[in-house]
Structure 1
Amino acid sequence: MKGLIFVFAMILVLGSCKETTKNLMPGISGKINQVLIIADKNLWDGNVGDTIKAFFGQEQDGLPQAEPVFDVLNLPEMYFDKNMKGHRNVLQVVISPSIDSAYVQYVDSPWAKTQKYIKIAAPDKKTFFKLFDENKLTILGTYAKAERDRLVAIYKKTADSHIFNLFKNKYDILLYCPTGYYVNKDTTNFVWMSSETTKNSKGIIFFTEKYEHESQFNNVIILDRVNEELQKYIPGPRKDSYMALDLEVPYTAVQYQYNGHYAILFRGLWTVVNDFMAGPYELNVVLDQEHQRVIYMMGYVYYPNEEKRDMMKQVDAVLNTMVIDFKDKKEVKK
C-alpha cells in the first residue's frame, strides 16, 4: 500500500513539474504574421527559397493593395541559437542525402509558449518540392490559426466588460471585444462599435434577423441585406453619405463551419457613397439554429495609404471570439 501511495505521489509531482516547466517557458518573439525560415544560404538563394517565398508571399485576399499572406525571414541553421529559437512561427528545411525517409514534422511550443515549429526533411530537392506542395496549405493554415488563436487569447483577457455584457445579456452571445472599442450605435438588433485613432479606424458591425428560408444565405441577398443596414445606420462624414459594401469590385465568399454552425465568410472592400473613404472588410454570416436567427458579424479597417493586413487580422480575431453556444449563462465580466 505504501508503494502505491509513493507511486501516486510521484505521478502528482512529475505532473506538477511538467506543468511548471510549461508555465516557465518564455513567450514568443518575432513580428506577427512572420515566418522564420531555417534554411542554409545555398537553399534560400536557389529555387527552394524562391518556392517558399512565392508561396508565403502570395497576396492576402480582401485587401485594396497587394500585401503578402505572411512575411518571411531567413536564417541559416548555424545561427539558429537560443536567441532565435523563440520565434513565433518556425519552418526548418533540411535537404541532405543522409535522410533516409522524407517527412514533415509539426511540433507545438518546443522553445516558447504558443510557438509553431514545422520541419521538412528530404533527401533531395525533387522530394522536397513534392513534399512541400502536398503540405503547404496545411502549413499555412497552421501558422494562420496560431496567429488568430494568440490574438483571441489576448482579447479574452482584455475584453471590454460593457461590450461583453451587452452582447451576452441582449443577444445571448459571448463576444470578447478588447478594450479600446466603443459602442457608437445600439438599436433593437444592430450594434456598431469602433476603435479610433487620429490615423486609422477599426470597426465591428453586428445585426441579426429571423431565419425563415435558405435563400437568406444567397450571396447577392446577403450583400444587399448588409447594404440596407449600413445605409440606415452608418453615416459618412458628408451630407447624404453612408457606408456600403463595394459591389463593383471582386469579393470572395467561402462556406464553412463556424464552431459547428453553417456560415459564409465574405472578404472584399467597403466604400462610402458620396465620399472618398474606403477599405477592406470581413463578414461572417452564421446560422444560429437554436435561436432560429441569422447572425451578421462584420469587421472593417480604415487606414488610407497604409498597409492594412495586420489590422484586418486583429479584426478577424475579434469576429472569431464570438461564442453562440455557451453553458455558463450567469457569466458576467467585471
Structure 2
Amino acid sequence: MKKRLVLCFFAVLGLLNACKENGKADYLPESVGAMNTLTVVIDNELWKSSVGDAIRENYTAAVPGLTWDEAQFSVTQIPPQVFSGSVQNSSSILYVMEDSLNVAHMKSNMYAKPQKVGVLKGRNKEELIENIHKTSKEFIEDFRTLEISKAQKRFTKSLNKEKALEDKFNISMNIPSVYRVGREEDNFVWISREIQKGNMNIIAYTMPWDSFERDSTFTKDIIKMRDSIGSLYIPGEDIPGKKNHMITEKAFSPYVFPAEVSGKKAAEVRGIWEMSAYPMAGPFLTYIINDKENNRKLVIEGFVFAPATKKRDYMFELEAILKSVSYDVSTKE
C-alpha cells in the first residue's frame, strides 16, 4: 500500500512540474529584436579580449554572395550586470562567461518565445574560445532558423493571393501582399515589389529531372541555366545594337551549397547578377530543388536591385519566402 502511495505521489509531482513548465511557456512574452540581430551577454573585459575576437570572427563574418561585405548578424554586446528586463526578451542571445564549468549548449524560450539562448561557459579564455569555435556553426543555424520562422509568421498576416505559382507549377509560397505578379510565361513566373531604391524579385521555373547530371560541370551548368533564363525573360535597359539581359556575374563563380527546402534535397546558389550590356548588379539566391514526385527540378530564385544600399536583410526576407515553398497544392485542397 505504501509503495503505491509513493508511486502516486511522484506521478502527481511529475504532472505538476510539467504543468508548471508548460504554464511558464504559455505566459512568456513575445520575443523582440530586429531581423538578424544578436545580443551577446559578456563581461566588458572578455569582450575586448581574444574571446571577443573569436565571437566576432564567427558571428560577424560576411554573408556570402552580397555586393559588398555585410556581417551575418548585427551584434549588440551587453555586460551580465545589465542583462535584465526587456533585454532578456531578445529573440537571439549568446551568453558567454568564465565559470567553474566547461559547457556549451543551446536553450529555447528561457525568457520569451520564440527565443534561442546559446550558453557558453569555460574555466578560462582558452576553453571559452574553443567552445565558441566548436559550436558556432550549430548555433548560427539555430539562430537563423528562428529568424526565418519569425519572418514567415509575419508574412501570414497579409499574404499575396495571386495564383500564378499554383497554376503554373502546383506550388505555393507565403509571399507578402506587397509583392505582385509581373510576368507569366509557360514555364516562368516573375513576382516583385518596389522598395525605396529599387526592387525585390522572385522568379520560378522548372528544369528537366535529368538536368545537372555531371558533378564536374555543375556550377557551369547553373550559370548557363541562369543566363539562358535571363536572356529569355529578364531584359534590361535598351542598348542600341546590343541585347541587354540578366546574366551571372562573369568575374566570380557563385557559391554552391547542399541544402534542404521544405523537406526536399536542393542546391543553394548564392552570387551576383549583372546585366550583359549595362552597369547594373545585385545579389541573388537560387534553390534548385529535387522535385522527384513531379519528375522535375524546381528552380526558385530571389534577387535584389538596390544600388548603394545594404542588402542583407532584403536577401534574408527573400530566403524566408523561398523556404516557405509548398508542393502539390492541389492535393491539399
The TM-score normalised by the length of structure 1 is: 0.87
**Equivalent in the alignment of 1:102:** 102
Correspondence 1:204 to 2:202: yes
Q: Secondary structure at the match of 1:51?
A: helix
Whichever residue aligns with residue 191 of structure 1, its letter is V
Q: Is the 8 A contact 2:165 2:189 kept in 1?
A: no
Shift of 1:220: 1.4
Q: Secondary structure at the match of 1:85?
A: helix
Residues 41-50 or 212-221, more deviating: 212-221
Alignment deviations for residues 146-184 of structure 1 (CA, whole Å, 9 cap, x no partner): 11121122224432111xx33234322121111111111
Q: Which of 186, 189, 209 is 1:188 aligned to?
A: 186
Correspondence 1:39 to 2:34: no
Q: Is the 8 A contact 2:236 2:275 kept in 1?
A: yes
Correspondence 1:248 to 2:246: no
Distance 2:173 2:137 in 1: 29
Q: Is the 8 A contact 2:285 2:303 kept in 1?
A: yes
Stretches of structure 1 lacking an aligned partner (at least 5 in a row): 1-9
Distance change in 2, residues 1:22/1:253 (3 Å):
same
Q: Which of 281, 292, 297 is 1:294 aligned to?
A: 297
Whichever residue aligns with residue 203 of structure 1, its letter is N
Shift of 1:20: 6.3
Q: Is the 8 A contact 1:105 1:120 kept in 2?
A: yes
Q: Secondary structure at the match of 1:263?
A: strand
Alignment deviations for residues 6-49 of structure 1 (CA, whole Å, 9 cap, x no partner): xxxx9999988866654443222222211111111121111111
Q: Is the 8 A contact 1:285 1:297 kept in 2?
A: yes
Distance 1:142 1:27 in 2: 18
**Equivalent in the alignment of 1:329:** 331
Whichever residue aligns with residue 219 of structure 2, its letter is N
Alignment deviations for residues 55-89 of structure 1 (CA, whole Å, 9 cap, x no partner): 21211100010111111111110100112100111
Q: Is the 8 A contact 1:238 1:274 kept in 2?
A: no
Q: Is the 8 A contact 2:65 2:254 kept in 1?
A: yes
Q: Secondary structure at the match of 1:161?
A: coil
Whichever residue aligns with residue 281 of structure 2, its letter is A
**Equivalent in the alignment of 1:131:** 131
1:1-334 alignment to 2 at 5 Å? 21-96=24-99, 99=100, 101-162=101-162, 165-212=163-210, 214-215=212-213, 218-239=218-239, 240-324=243-327, 329-331=331-333
Q: Secondary structure at the match of 1:94?
A: strand
Alignment deviations for residues 245-281 of structure 1 (CA, whole Å, 9 cap, x no partner): 2132232011233334231111000011221211000
Stretches of structure 2 lacking an aligned partner (at least 5 in a row): 1-12
Residue identity over aligned pairs, in percent, reads 23
Q: How many residues align?
A: 320
